[in-house]
Structure 1
Amino acid sequence: MTVDDALNMVRLGNVQMSPDGKWVFFSKSELDWGENKRTTKYFMVPAIGGKAKQFIG
């Protein structure tokens, strides 16, 4: 693995369950080479499964 490989890795984190147990929230962080910064977006997905929806970022 090279330094560029490590920088290009998508990072998932901050996994949280909603108090009612119906939703899972998480962040997705990626490097934007054009802007020379890491961007983070936040998503929610039903705990029973399904498609994640972006809600912040």
Structure 2
Amino acid sequence: MRRINMAKIGFVVAAAASFLFSVYLWFTGSREEGLFVGIWVPSILSFGALMLSGKSHA
């Protein structure tokens, strides 16, 4: 696999893990912590888009 694809997969996996952890926290009664972790998802995806936007496809 190309290096750029591995980076994309890494950011998506990190965002998915954050989402799943926030759902777990929410349903185990830690609602505020679940919301806090849930707002990491768009931040992780935005950071990934920023980091990958400068990469060339050469």
TM-score (norm 2): 0.33
| RCO comparison, higher one (Cα < 8 Å, 6+) | 2
- The structure carrying a bigger strand percent of its residues is 1
- The structure carrying a bigger helix percent of its residues is 2
